[in-house]
Amino acid sequence: MTATPIQPDQLPATIRDYLSAHAARDVDAALRSFAPEAVVVDQGETFRGTSAVQTFLREAGAQFTYTTELVGAQRVDDAHWVATNRLEGDFPGGVAELDYRFTLDGAGITELVIGP
């Protein structure tokens, strides 16, 4: 599938809400963006369902201090979107650009895959 670059404010509201809540480390608000059966894949680990996604949201990157800046966005189709975030902080390497690949079903995120 070919992705079309878009302005970050053109991402669906659910994705924008998630990104804002996650950057603010507001676990409850971020969790509301996910469907109950959601799957998150980050650093080779898979988190399935509400409880596991909540654990991911609480623990991902918690040992580091960093900032997150949304630097790009793409629309693949009505259900698939990519948000590119630039992270800077005290984690190994200090800087990373990660693609957050979202799958939506209606208003909820059903899958989030994070990687370079």
What's the pLDDT tens digit per position in 42-101? 999 999 999 999 999 999 878 888 889 999 999 999 999 999 999 999 989 999 999 999
| pLDDT at residue 1 greater than cutoff 80 | no
- Number of Cβ atoms within 10 Å of the Cβ of 48: 12
Place of tokens 């909540």: 54
pLDDT of residue 107: 75
pLDDT of residue 62: 81
Distance in Å from the first CA to the final CA of the chain: 18
Q: What is the DSSP string of the chain?
A: ---EEE-GGGS-HHHHHHHHHHHTT-HHHHHTTEEEEEEEEETTEEEEHHHHHHHHHHHTTTTS-EEEEEEEEEEEETTEEEEEEEEEESSTTSEEEEEEEEEEETTEEEEEEEE-
Write down the pTM of the prediction.
0.93
CATH architecture of residue range(s) 4-115: Roll (3.10)
How do the domains of the chain map onto residue ranges?
Answer: 4-115
| pLDDT at residue 103 greater than cutoff 90 | yes
